[in-house]
Structure 1
């Protein structure tokens, strides 16, 4: 009976804990940084300070949860030039990009 209680507690604990995103390999991180600088930079500015798209600098993203940025990266914003990237990125990769943007994407 005690083991069943531990199992139930463990399951409840896991349900309340957000899943940790897998960190891309160092080579993939470099490719993702390049993609953000080049592909995203074509609209958001090569320095990510803004252009056709808004600034992607940390101060501009302050107050926007990383989960919301991940959703925008994957699904785009209908009715705007922001396209969905889900065909090219996994959810873990989009989450990694969102978190890196919040911290300030390293060169």
Structure 2
């Protein structure tokens, strides 16, 4: 069942290869950066170097499948403190967050 959910999420999350990648408008971008820095940072460390949750740095996420990370953001990790964030971000925004975490997350500007 989880595999099916991940597959469906993958189909709805990522655009066709020739489509432009999702980019939030400037106001939403600021909100998403703040969410990652403050809300995610409360468990993953304010500098994302780890804490209660693992580090969210490019070197720790580089080899992780983006689809799996998006599924974790959207659905959380049952049995762990990682909650689902699907009430606060949509799948495209979660994919944007993952892409930026894998590159090096931007600062709050």
> In 2, distance between residues paired with 1:82 and 1:32?
17
Runs (4+) of structure 1 exceeding 3 A deviation are none
Within-5 A mapping of 1:1-107: 19-20=15-16, 22-107=22-107
Give the CA RMSD over aligned residues.
Answer: 1.5
> In 2, distance between residues paired with 1:54 and 1:42?
12
> So what's the TM-score if we normalise by structure 1?
0.80
> In 1, distance between residues paired with 2:106 and 2:30?
10
> In 1, distance between residues paired with 2:74 and 2:52?
19
Name the structure, 1 or 2, with higher relative contact order (CA <8 Å, separation 6+): 2
Q: Which runs of 5+ in 1 are unaligned?
A: 1-14
TM-superposition CA deviations, 1:67-101 (whole Å, max 9, x none): 11111000000100000000111111111001000
Aligned to 2:15, the other structure's residue is in SS state: coil
- Worse-matched range after superposition: 39-48 or 58-67: 58-67
Shift of 1:102: 0.4
Count matched residues: 91
